[in-house]
Structure 1
Amino acid sequence: MANTKEIQNRIKSIKDTQKITNAMYMISSSKLKKARTDLENTEPYFYTLQVALARMLRHVPEMEHLYFDSREGIKEEDRRRGYLVITADKGMAGAYNHNVIKIAEQELAAHPNSELYVVGQVGRHYFAKKGVPIDIHFQYTAQNPSLHRARVIADKMLENYENGDIDEVYIIYTNMKSSVVVEPQMIQLLPMKRTDFAGVPADVFHEEITMEPSPKAVLDRIVPNCVMGYIYGALVESFCSEQNSRMMAMDSATKSAKEMLDDLNIKYNRARQAAITQEITEIAGGARAQRDRS
């Protein structure tokens, strides 16, 4: 059994760690609340864009556009895919980063003719260590998602798609289903599919709409904003999922620390009691020896 000094040192070390995990839990809780508020404040704008786009596609179903071009003339094995992978800038968030990276690795293995775009230090370091080439990365985006940073990413994705460098654009991120469930998923950003907007409800149905100067020009402005909205939503959802995962991990660590402290306190009391008993035994033995000598 360890002596009381060793047990006291372990108790102090665990208490210090417990303070850190509890502080990280509180910080993640605050960041999660702020991120959810930001997302709720911007959702109406991007939802209105989707409604407007759905109305346009309903009224001009025959219109062709680059952003809806599936490029059927390109064979499946020749298609260049661009994957935007959103990870965190740091760990200690359970399996949050691992789950996203796992999907990305599976996609890259199935489609070698792909380009990888990574958000977050964890993802960049992981793929760099594996020797996977990263075509571009976006610094300081995972920890502070904003509309500006979403626009920078969207502009790059749209530029590569319009230039023909990539034929399809996908985003791999983590969706926060609830406070206890986060789920990694992959969605296709480009080319867009008309069927994706078929179920978008419109508050008011107009028999006739006018698009100036032309339907194509209107789409040229609306679609990039929609893509930016999807990316911003994914960034915020990923950030919320990261904070939620870190909260759960830190809460579990804090509870484990409490259990370890309870166990160590019992061991400390037993060691202290054993030491006291040993001292009493030695005193009693000494007193008995003195009596026998006299």
Structure 2
Amino acid sequence: MDLTLNEDQLAVEGAIDKLAEDFSSSPVDFHGFALVSDDLDRELEEGGYFEIAAVPEMGPLSAAVSVARLAQLPYTAEVALSMLVRPHLDIELPRPFGVIEHGRPGRFVAMAKTLIIIDGDSVGIAHPQAGDVEALPDSLFAYPMGKLVGSPEVKTLDAETAATVKTWLRVSSAAEIAGLMQAALDCIVEHVSVRKQFGRPLGTFQALRHRLSECAVLTGGVRWLALKAAWSGDAGDAALACLHAQDSATRIIYDVHQMSGAMGMTLEMDLHLWTYRMKALISDLGGRGGQAQVVAEHCFA
């Protein structure tokens, strides 16, 4: 396994970093849950970044690196599904994408032009029309959430394609969680570096340093497993990466909010933009139990 980026992939990574600079800070007057940027979506679309997984010199590995980097921004856009799932389904399908799993609300569903409908082992594709979807503006998940209220025509995928879609859904979740975990960790490191207690910064206390170190190890592990899964495209690798991501996210969410104290529960601190998005992702495809079953089937047969 060689995850060293080639020249083309490094160029994409640099371009994504440069693009992200304009979206690296939330507005001073923002005190809400979902911070969505149409400008970010448009710049990614115009730059052709949603097709990089289909380019041989770049591939899914470069797309996963991009997803993780963009997930660190306070702003959000429909990135992960378009970058990592769409190229393995049909690059011509209209975006944004959304996922409806067992009838539950999903992120970006209200604005989606293509829906992936999951019902048990069945996976289908639908293109909702006006009135088929409804926005949920009061959601706390820090994504623009929506639900399916109509009955659009659903094209059921064959078993092999359905399995491929689920594999790349797991890769996309793992890559996005990796970025969200890194952003949450960076946010809390900054907080404990300036927040003082007993006359010195919180970050100087050994107990917090140990917990922060453990969070950093978890974050790094999730990132590398996500990149390995993107590199191999293996169903077992994808399930293992998603399992570790969802399991680690629960620990990271608990730790960073405890370390931030009451500040982490306010809308003035951006921490919730990443932790509440993780909360939306930890139940994807059956959550940790669902991933563990797939890991058992593919890695320990």
TM-score, normalising length: structure 2? 0.23
Larger radius of gyration: 1
TM-score, normalising length: structure 1? 0.24
